[in-house]
């Protein structure tokens, strides 16, 4: 019984995260300003990270959690670099 509930919850979460990723991808291409595009890119990588976590929960394999950790670290650094570029016009001083 609990396996059915877990499978259903993970499947619904994956579907909703996929829809959120689609909305964020649309916002990247239609955002009126660069700040909007960066925020939607930030949302996209967080949703991708959470989607990998749900895959890991559903399959029970730890490789998905490690991949989610790498995506989280790279996404954080990319967001900082893009924000610095928008504020100062250069990333490396």
Distance CA 72, CA 75 (A): 5
pTM: 0.86
Q: Any alpha helices (H) in 1-93, and if so which ranges?
A: 2-30, 34-59, 63-88
* Domain annotation covers residue 29: yes
* Domain annotation covers residue 93: no
Q: Report which of residues 17 and 85 the model is more confident about.
A: 17
Distance CA 3, CA 68 (A): 23
* Domain annotation covers residue 8: yes
Tokens of 8: 């259903």
CATH no. for residue 33? 1.10.287
* Domain annotation covers residue 43: yes
**63-93 pLDDT per residue, tens:** 999 999 999 999 999 988 888 888 887 766 6
Residue range(s) defining the domain that contains residue 14 = 2-88
Count up the domains in the chain and report the number. 1
**31-55 pLDDT per residue, tens:** 899 889 999 999 999 999 999 999 9
Position 54 scores a pLDDT of 96
């Amino acid at each position: 019984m609990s396996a059915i509930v877990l499978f259903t919850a993970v499947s619904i979460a994956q579907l909703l995260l996929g829809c959120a990723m689609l909305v964020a991808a649309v916002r990247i291409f239609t955002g009126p300003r660069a700040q909007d595009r960066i925020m939607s890119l930030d949302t996209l990588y967080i949703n991708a990270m959470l989607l990998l976590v749900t895959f890991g929960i559903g399959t029970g394999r730890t490789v998905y959690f490690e991949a989610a950790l790498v995506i989280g670290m790279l996404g954080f650094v990319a967001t900082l670099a893009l924000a610095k570029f928008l504020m100062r016009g250069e990333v490396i001083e």
